[in-house]
Amino acid sequence: SYFLSYFVSKGTRMRSGQDHKAVIWIEGNIASGKTTCLEYFSKTTNIEVCPEPIFRWTNVRGHNLLALMYQDPERWGITLQTYIQLTMLQVHQAPTCAPIRMLERSIYSAKHIFVENLYRSGQMPEVDYAVLCEWFDWITTNMLIPVDLIVYLQTSPETCHERLKLRCREEEKVVSLAHLESIHQLYEDWLIGCRTTLPAPLLVIPADHDLQEMLLQYEEKRGKILGAAC
Ligand code: DCP
């Protein structure tokens, strides 16, 4: 009923029948095809799509922080990831009118994938990692980060590597297959291995297929995706 409110996601999120806005996160490796997925759903009325704010990471008052991080991860890893944490939090908190919001990645994958990768590969000093962990824990304990469904575009690192070479993004020229393998493994551990409790149900979509086939998949699964989120 209109007055019926209930709790989901570890009891942190209150929903009320009329004003509830569904939130979907699109997760996946670098070049897994998240942008294509978002573009497809952006054509649906009632859905607001929010791409990762890369344009902010490549221009922080004139500084290309993403490029700096790839050039010298030990020096710039914490700076980039602190900034990404801020910009993703701003995306999560942004007001919206649309009944469904679809986000590219989340503050969760920023931490569980990219911060973990820098630390575990020995490219981030332990003290930098500790500071980022404390920020992340505080934010996720004290702030509302709404999510109703996590969609995981599951790819092989090899496919991502091929796509990455094709798109030729300047900052990413140093991204190797080994790097994509590490990111892939962390995604598998986080979402499939479920070492931590996920903040929402998970839908896995195999995403190694070519563009046409992926668009067909989204067409086929749109009911499932949108239905599961609402
Ligand atoms: N990145 C990072 N740390 C994060 C998030 C992203 O270092 N917490 C980096 C990885 C990439 C770049 O930012 O070099 C952009 O991420 P993606 O390539 O995954 O974004 P795209 O929009 O290109 O994704 P896709 O190709 O799936 O559409």
Which of 37, 38, 49, 125 lies closest to 81, judged by CA? 125
CA of 30 to the centre of ligand 1 (A): 5
Helix H or strand E encompassing 163:
helix 157-167
Residue nearest to atom 23 of ligand 1 (CA): 31
Domain segments of the chain: what residues? 5-52+96-124+147-229
Tens of pLDDT, residue by residue, the chain (230 residues): 222 222 333 334 444 445 678 999 999 999 999 999 999 999 988 999 999 999 999 999 999 999 999 999 999 999 999 999 999 999 999 998 899 999 999 999 999 999 999 999 999 999 999 999 999 999 999 999 999 999 999 999 999 999 999 988 888 888 999 999 999 999 999 999 876 689 999 999 999 999 999 999 999 999 989 987 77
Contact criterion met (CB below 8 Å) for 11 and 133? no
Give rounded-to-5 percent helix, strand, coil for the chain: 55, 15, 30
For ligand 1, atom 2, which residue shows the shortest CA distance?
A: 114
Residue among 34, 115, 123 whose CB has most ligand 1 atoms within 8 A, to mutate = 34
Closest atom of ligand 1 relative to the 110 alpha carbon: 8
CB 154 within 8 A of CB 205: yes
Task: Read off the amino acid at residue 228.
Answer: A
What value of ipTM does the predicted structure carry?
0.90
Q: Which residues are catalytic?
A: 104
Q: Whose CA is nearest to atom 7 of ligand 1?
A: 114
Report pLDDT for 125. 98
pLDDT score recorded for residue 139: 98
What's the pTM value of the predicted model, to 2 decimals?
A: 0.90
- The bridge status of strand 5-8 relative to strand 13-16 is antiparallel
What is 5-52+96-124+147-229's CATH number? 3.40.50.300
What lies within 8 Å, CB to CB, of 8 at 6+ separation is 15, 148
Q: How far is CA 118 from the centre of its chain?
A: 17
Which residues form the pocket of ligand 1, taking CB atoms under 6 Å from any ligand atom?
28, 30-35, 52, 54, 66, 84, 110, 114, 172
